[in-house]
Homo-oligomer: A and B are copies of this chain.
Amino acid sequence: MTKTPVTAAVCLIGDELLSGRTRDINVQQIAGYLAPLGIPVREVRIVPDEQDCIVEAVNALRSAYSYVFTTGGIGPTHDDITADAIAAAFGVGIGHHPEVFTDLQARYDKMGTEFTEARQRMARIPHGASLIENPVSGAPGFQTGNVFTLAGVPSIVQGMLQDVGHRLEHGEVVRSITVRSSGLREGDIAEQLSALNEELDGVSLGSYPWFRSVTDHGVALIARSTDQDKLKTAGERLVALVSEAGRESELLEGEAS
């Protein structure tokens, strides 16, 4: 019997990502954290700071994937509406979480900073959610069903993820090897690569060209598999394939991918 694959989706929330003002790094961070747990990210959506858009995306993603990770919109300002949107998506209430409220109050008292009504917004947690620890700046994320709501600031996301992994069912870890070849063009090896992809059972091959200038371009060939032996064979075959095309290559070994 084949195990049901464990899958994830990421929903990035924020006008600044859509306008291009901010270039996202959280997809890489989250995918990189989940890969060694055997949980591939299968879809990403970026939506604006608008409740309807967030609700629609979160509801579509949480029914299609095992886990959903949202980033952004849980700070103290008026455009931080993610907690309310998640409550709306799940059809539950929302209010100040007593434990979070007390913790934040103590934290601000210690800093000699007023715990304003705006800062109190960060204690608003959907009813029934469990907290996700924020080791960086105090205000927590939270888990509602299969949806994990994280901050937007990358260093805080990184911190919060440490309190997420132990809650997740792990899947089969996919590993990859990369065969990089400068000067190679995809068209030089496309037929052979396609044939090899058909031939190698349990391995998926991908081809990723880069083109920085007429003198700096090439192709990265990636093999991905849950089986280390098959991956080793695929690596050797890819190196041979590039060699037959009259090019040199460099093989980079096996990380979770």
Residues on A close to B: CB < 8 A?
12, 15-25, 27-32, 35, 40-49, 53, 75-80, 113, 116-119, 121, 136-137, 153, 155-156, 176, 185-187, 190-191, 193-194, 197, 205-212, 222, 257
Q: Which residue of B lies closest to A26 (CB)?
A: B20
Q: Which residues in B have their C-beta under 8 angstroms from that of A45?
A: 43-46
Task: Give the dominant DSSP class at A's interface.
Answer: mixed
Tell me whether A19 and B35 are in contact in the complex, defined as CB-CB below 8 angstroms, given that A77-B190, A190-B116, A197-B78 are known contacts.
Answer: yes
A18 close to B41 (CB less than 8 A): yes
3 shortest interchain CB distances as A-B pairs = A118-B190, A20-B31, A44-B46
Query: Which residue of B24, B46, B207 is within 8 Å of A79 (Cβ)?
Result: B207
Report 22 cross-chain contacts, Cβ distance below 8 Å, ordered by A residue.
A16-B208, A18-B41, A20-B31, A21-B208, A23-B24, A27-B46, A42-B48, A43-B53, A44-B44, A45-B45, A49-B206, A77-B190, A78-B190, A79-B206, A113-B187, A118-B187, A118-B191, A118-B194, A119-B190, A136-B211, A153-B210, A153-B211
Tell me whether A28 and B35 are in contact in the complex, defined as CB-CB below 8 angstroms, given that A43-B53, A137-B211, A191-B118 are known contacts.
Answer: no
- What CA separation (Å) do A158 and B186 show in the bound complex? 20
Q: Which residues in B have their C-beta under 8 angstroms from that of A21?
A: 176, 208, 222, 257
Q: Which residue of B lies closest to A210 (CB)?
A: B153
Q: Which residue of B lies closest to A34 (CB)?
A: B20
B46 close to A18 (CB less than 8 A): no
- What CA separation (Å) do A193 and B29 show in the bound complex? 31
Q: Which residue of B lies closest to A117 (CB)?
A: B191
Q: Which residues in B have their C-beta under 8 angstroms from that of A208?
A: 16, 21-22
A79 close to B187 (CB less than 8 A): no
Known contacts A20-B27, A24-B27, A136-B211; can you find 9 more A-B pairs with CB under 8 A?
A: A19-B176, A21-B208, A23-B27, A23-B28, A27-B46, A44-B44, A80-B207, A118-B187, A153-B211
A155 close to B31 (CB less than 8 A): no
Q: Which residue of B lies closest to A256 (CB)?
A: B19
Q: Which residues in B have their C-beta under 8 angstroms from that of A222?
A: 16, 21
B191 close to A155 (CB less than 8 A): no
B47 close to A18 (CB less than 8 A): no
Query: Which residue of B25, B78, B113, B211 is within 8 Å of A193 (Cβ)?
Result: B78
Query: Which residue of B48, B75, B205 is within 8 Å of A209 (Cβ)?
Result: B75
